A and B are shown apart, each in its own frame.
Chain A
Amino acid sequence: MNNRERSLSGEAVRLEGIVKRFSGVTANAGIDLSLNYGEVHGLLGENGAGKTVLMSVLYGLYRPTEGQIYLKDRPVAISSPAVAIRAGIGMVHQHFMLVPRLTVADNMVVGWETLWGPFLDRSRIRRRIGELSEQYGLEVDPSARVEELSVGEQQRVEIVKALYRGAEVLILDEPTATLPEQEVESFFATIRALRDEGKAVVFITHKLREALTICDRVTVLRKGEKVGTVPASQATESQLAEMMVGREVVFEVQRERVASEGQPLLRVEGLTAVDDRGVPAVQEVGFTVHDHEIVGVAGVQGNGQSELVEAICGLSRLRQGQVMVDGEDLSGAPPRKMAQAGLVHIPEDRHRRGLILDFSVGENSILGRQYESPFAIGQVGQSKRAIAGYARELVERFNIVVPGVRTPARALSGGNQQRVILARELDRKPKVIVAAQPTRGLDVAGIEFVWEQLLAMRREGAAILLVSMDLDELLTLADRLVVMYQGKLVGERKPGETDKQEIGLLMLGGAVETA
């Protein structure tokens, strides 16, 4: 165990010829990768390129089918996460691995406890967490329960958790996907601090600009193969995008002007809603979305956007207020009624609200319509053939990368899970679309695709409410922007007449309403 004392320089990890096959799918096809101490190494690739699988192999979650891992030039077999942790490897997963009901401290130490005799030494644990959080500028409260924390806070908990276990190689799987833009800069400062201390950091992202900002070297994967490793200082966004996709990406959406007929398809009035704990989260919110219109909702996470969306879609009880869909009062109607009235929802939490992970892609693709023909036969029967046929059609049309429609949704890469949801909802030819963070975790091609789809729906006349943390996305797509702050709408702007800075200020409650 004394190899923890090693000097932190030179090569930390080398992966040679890593192959990982899942019954039939080759997720990694012979990948070489070298990570140095004191470097931030970017890992890029489209959805399903194999980034998470490769890192899971390094972390001992998957056994490689072929290939060898070297730690400090010594060949090792990492047979389980326990082995990886002992070897100084830490991983912050794309979907957090925290128990909501336990405290931050308990979550951090489980499996790697500091003891006093046979007991947990909770005071020493707290002190150690305090030291780490001070050292790296990662503010966490050890005695808070994880369920009370925002996504950004949970992420800090995950990082400190890895550091607590003595990680010197730190894998961060899409850490910025759920982070509001305002927090990205301080997050980068933390990464730099870790690097300067000599740690090897792997940074997985879909945002090319971020990769170029923070990384020293960048490795690009495509369809399970490594395309190459380049120094970030010599790379450009378009070059990386081309490496990822294998063709040039024109990252420009056609946002033609379409005239609205002024029909209010979604109308919300005086809506008040509470969060899970019963605290008022949305207060007296009202707005209208017309046909052929996209209204963007900006705001720092946790300012009531999630509760607003859930209240509109009938997923949580409405405290007060009205929701009208195409002139019909549907306040507090159940989701099925909403769907029948032509309102679809693209949920922000795709695991909790969007998919049943253990169900197949086919079954997931008809969720919400399972009672309709041709999927249902009578009251109880199900037509497997109709479901599979429909799912195959969606997979084709929406470019979803799946081994087959019988594969459980769990086995899909994050981006492809999102595509399944999008395909299912948009294919219902909705009148109103409520989309929450629809491009979270998607690669460039995926984002382009979603944007095109949303714009196409707009062209066909849909009213779209778009909730997003990504200001670029909002400014690109929305016809009008409203900003949410502490449960209220604090401003409305037109994208052409505002900029990121002004919106950013409004999001922080920093400006008074002028509109």
Chain B
Amino acid sequence: MDVLSLDIMVAALRLAMPIALVALGETFSERSGIINIGVEGTALAGALIGATVAFFSGSSVVGLCAALGVGMLLGLIHAVWCVYLRADHVVTGAAINLLVIGLALFLTRVVWGWRGTSAAVPTLNPWILVWGMVGLIVLAQVYLFRTPWGLRLRVVGEHPQAADTAGINVFRTRVAYSVLNGALCGLAGAFLVNNLGRFSVGMVGGRGFIGIAAMVVGNYRPIPAFLAAYLFGFVDALQMRLQDVIPSHFSIMLPYVLTVVVLAGFLGRAHVPAALGKPYIKDQG
């Protein structure tokens, strides 16, 4: 069997894309100082709402837009809690994850009468999305390191007080990039639906968390994070082929085992933005 064909490398790109989108979104968010572990749930929400809207409207594009919309909404909610109400980022993110699972179980039952899955929904040629995303990731790298907005973003996440005294609105910046993160996660969910042709509650299956891992391995840089995501996608694709060779119970574990192993090697080495997870308090008596 030809395991390492070009075919599998291309297939891996498709499997990597949702992970890469989450990694990119989380890179922006954490660069501004906001941790969002709710990316898992946000991607699920994008998938759920994207599938539902696509199902009823009969248009995959309208579904995609709905996925973006719900992602942005969740990103906004997360930002408001973290930035203005100074809630703990991890707790808020975990709440989003739980909320969306509940919502998914409820909605699939109401709409399709089944628990946890949908009927088939209209899809789109995935390759338009895939190549669009590759372009987006290159752009993001340039944006982050070559433009004034990217510089401001980095300063906000490293030293919000310095940003403030340089005339940058820390609160608005954080909210904006949190919303962007939500949008990208929503898109990741829509992409998963597009790959499968339907919605299922387990479909994100940890890819949100793996996306965060890819961001760490990529040291908070879009292109390296994408490459890390691609590695995970590749192992995922490989795993599918290997199912004829080794028991699937084991092969299915591969991407997750890889995540743990790789992450253990990189965790200490990545530079975490200095103000990550800390609320910015502006004294105004």
Residues of chain A touching chain B, judged by Cβ–Cβ distance below 8 Å, are: 20-23, 25, 59, 61-63, 65, 80-85, 91, 93, 97-102, 106-107, 109-113, 115, 118-120, 410-411
Given A81-B167, A110-B152, answer yes or no on A120-B162 (Cβ-Cβ < 8 Å).
no
B285 touches A111 (CB 8 A): no
Question: Within 8 Å of chain A (Cβ to Cβ): is B161?
Answer: yes
* Pairwise interchain contact B165-A101, C-beta atoms closer than 8 A: no
Q: How far is the CA of A100 from the CA of B283 in the complex (A)?
A: 24
Are B154 and A102 in contact, with the CB atoms below 8 A?
yes
Q: Is B151 an interface position by the 8 A CB rule?
A: yes
Given known contacts A62-B284, A63-B284, is B165 in contact with A91 (CB within 8 Å)? yes
State whether A120 touches B158 (Cβ < 8 A). no
Is residue B94 within 8 Å, beta carbon to beta carbon, of the partner chain? no
Establish whether residues B167 and A97, one from each chain, have CB atoms under 8 Å apart when the complex forms: no
How near does chain B come to A78, taking the closest CB pair, in angstroms? 11
Q: Judging by beta carbons under 8 Å apart, are A110 and B147 in contact? A: no
Residue with the greatest number of chain A CB neighbours at <10 A, chosen from B165, B271, B274, B283: B165
- The distance from the CB of A157 to the nearest CB of chain B, in whole angstroms, is 12
| Structural contact, B283 and A411, CB atoms closer than 8 A | yes
A81 to B164, CA, bound (A): 7
B37 in the interface, Cβ–Cβ < 8 Å?
Answer: no
> How far is A410 from B282 in the complex, measured between Cα atoms in Å?
11
> CA separation between A109 and B167, bound complex, in Å?
11
Known: A97-B159, A102-B155, A120-B147. A22 touches B166 (CB 8 A): no
* CB-nearest residue of chain A to B151: A110
Shortest 5 CB-CB contacts between residues of A and residues of B = A22-B285, A82-B167, A111-B166, A113-B148, A97-B162
**Residue from A81, A115, A410 in contact with B148 in the complex, judged by beta carbons closer than 8 Å:** A115
Complex: A109 Cα to B166 Cα, angstroms: 9
Whether the Cβ atoms of A111 and B159 lie closer than 8 Å is no
A112 contact set on B, CB distance < 8 A: 166-167
- B167: contacting residue among A25, A85, A115, A410, CB under 8 A: A85
Q: Are B146 and A119 in contact (CB under 8 A)?
A: yes
Q: Is the CB–CB distance between A80 and B167 below 8 Å?
A: yes
CB neighbours (8 Å) of A82 from chain B are 167-169
Question: By the criterion CB–CB under 8 Å, are B148 and A99 in contact?
Answer: no
Q: Which residues of B contact A111 (CB under 8 A)?
A: 152, 155, 163, 166-168
Q: Select one of B158, B161, B169 contacting A102, CB under 8 A.
A: B158
A99 contacts across to B, CB distance below 8 A: 154-155, 158-159, 162, 274
- In the complex, which residues of chain A have a beta carbon less than 8 angstroms from the beta carbon of B161? 97
Query: Chain B nearest CB: distance from A19 CB in Å?
Result: 11
Across the interface, which residues of B come within 8 angstroms of A411, CB to CB? Answer: 283
- B158–A101 touching, CB < 8 Å: yes
Instruction: Looking at the assembled complex, report how far the CB atom of B269 sits from the nearest CB atom of chain A, in whole angstroms.
Output: 14
Measured between alpha carbons, how far is A22 from B271 in the docked complex, in Å? 36
How many Å from the CB of A83 to the closest CB on chain B? 8
Residues of B within 8 A of A101 (CB): 158, 271, 274
CA of A486 to CA of B155, assembled, Å: 33
Q: A232 to nearest B CB, angstroms?
A: 29
21 A-B interface contacts by CB (under 8 A): A61-B165, A81-B167, A82-B168, A97-B165, A98-B162, A99-B154, A99-B155, A99-B159, A99-B162, A99-B274, A100-B274, A101-B274, A102-B151, A106-B151, A107-B162, A110-B151, A110-B168, A111-B152, A112-B166, A115-B148, A119-B147
Q: Smallest distance from the beta carbon of A22 to chain B beta carbons, Å?
A: 3
Q: Are the C-beta atoms of B271 and A120 separated by less than 8 Å?
A: no
Whole-angstrom distance between the Cβ of B11 and the nearest chain A Cβ: 35
Tell me which residues from 8 to 62 in chain B have a Cβ below 8 Å from any Cβ of chain A.
Answer: none
A62–B162 CB distance below 8 A: no
Q: Is the CB of B163 within 8 A of A25?
A: no
A residues near B151, Cβ cutoff 8 Å: 102, 106, 109-110, 113, 120
CB distance from A72 to the nearest CB of B (A): 20
Chain A: which residue is nearest B273 at the CB level? A101
Chain A residues with CB under 8 Å of B159's CB are: 97-99
Say yes or no: A81-B285 contact (C-beta < 8 A), given A102-B154, A120-B146.
no
**Interface positions of B from 134 to 192, Cβ below 8 Å from A:** 146-148, 151-152, 154-155, 158-159, 161-169
Which B residues are CB-close (under 8 A) to A81?
164-167
Q: Could you say which residues of chain A place their CB within 8 Å of the CB of B283? A: 22, 62, 410-411
Residues of A within 8 A of B271 (CB): 101
Shortest distance between the CB of B275 and any CB in chain A (Å):
10
Which residue of the partner chain B has the closest CB to A161? Answer: B166
Nearest-neighbor residue (CB-CB) of B159 within chain A: A99
Sample of 18 further A-B pairs with CB below 8 A, known A82-B167, A111-B168 = A22-B285, A59-B165, A62-B283, A62-B285, A81-B164, A81-B165, A84-B167, A98-B162, A99-B159, A107-B162, A110-B155, A110-B163, A110-B166, A111-B167, A112-B166, A112-B167, A118-B147, A410-B283
Name the distance in Å between B265's Cβ and chain A's nearest Cβ. 21
Cβ of A158 to closest chain B Cβ, rounded Å: 10
Closest chain A residue, CB of each to CB of B150: A120
Complex: A63 Cα to B283 Cα, angstroms:
10
Give CA–CA (A70, B164) in the complex, Å: 23
B110 to chain A, nearest CB (A): 46
Partner of A20, one of B155, B164, B167, B285: B285
In the docked arrangement, what's the CA distance between A99 and B146, Å?
17
In the complex, which residue of chain B has the Cβ closest to the Cβ of A84? B167
